[in-house]
Amino acid sequence: MFKLGQTKMRRLNPDVLGHRLLLGNLMPEELEALMLQWEQPHYRAAQILHSYYAERRLDPMEMATLPLALRNRCAEMLVTMPLRLVTKTRSSDSTVKMLFELLDGSRIESVLIPREMHDGRSRRTLCISTQAGCPLGCVFCATASLKLRRNLETAEIIGQILAAEQVLGERITNVVFMGMGEPLLNYEAVARAIRLMTWGKQPLVALRRITVSTAGIVPAIDQLAADNLRVKLALSLHATTDTLRRQLMPIARRWSLDELLAAMERYYRTTGQPVTYEYILFDGLNDTDADIRRLLKIARRVPAKVNVIPFHPIDFTHPTGLAAELRPTSSTRIAEFVAALRHHGIPTMVRTSSGIEIAAACGQLALANAL
């Protein structure tokens, strides 16, 4: 496991659980060991996991394949839903922001982004959080105003999918690790969550529909490649020079663009997965012709696409310094920027501002209704 040379980030206090265990924390082999400890056949673990993930049976008493005595014990010993919905807000474009409270009172947000596809299918993407708050301090992101409270447990990450499906009454088809927090600073819990989401013949979410977004934690990118989880990897780039990126994203002071792009190249070489570069456009800062030329060079290193993202105001967090000076690039310049990338053969998408009216768009998650 990679080391970042920092104090291990706090997790859920075990005292909150008492004698109980979070079911969503247990890998199949760990649940098998628990069944043997309970003097149950090891195959009961697979039955429990199938009921929980494939059938979405969150009440152990409804796990019909289990004998009654085991259902009772699971109900007593296992916590199957470690989140409680506090508020749900829906925007006019059908984006839904959900504020959840965790067992220790920490709060996080998840966002549903529905889309109608060209072939008539519906895609329901859930943007999930991996930390309560965030330690990175990116100047354009509202979550930075919260600082970091703690890392989420694996069960709390997966629980956002299960809870959202309960709240919305529909299945989640895609998951993006782009909510509150930096996923690769909670690597172990995120990796375990991915394995559990994709477990079994009827996975909670298909592997090809999972994207992990990172601000650029180089050792963790290499670990993700070594572990061969093969998720889609998206890098929050947002600048084509080290000087500007360090002003926008303090984490960039630790790893240069050269080091970061080399890690992205290693990820592609190891997994065969094309990568994505996310690029928020700021008026006069990173939207020049010179930026286009540098971004083209970056995007050509390995098969890649670029997601251009309009800057979403975070005035409700009362920003200061550079954060208060940031302005969105005009729609005309965005179109020119995108057209130039496409003209040179780079697949480029413009991320829509879904949920902006409810502070649910990219970079706006900050428990706004609690500020």
Task: Give the whole-angstrom CA distance, residue 43 versus residue 54.
Answer: 16
Cβ pair 182, 148 in contact under 8 A: no
Spot the catalytic one: 32, 109, 153, 182.
109
- Tell me the C-alpha distance between 100 and 97, whole Å: 10
- Dig out the tokens for 69 from the structure: 């005595």
In this structure, the number of other CB atoms found within 10 A of the CB of residue 118 comes to 5
**Residues in a beta bridge with 275:** 233, 304
- The single residue of 127, 134, 138, 362 carrying the catalytic annotation is 362
109 is an active site residue: yes
265 belongs to the catalytic site? no
What is the rounded CA–CA span in Å between residue 371 and residue 367?
Answer: 7
Instruction: Indicate which residues carry an active-site annotation.
Output: 109, 362
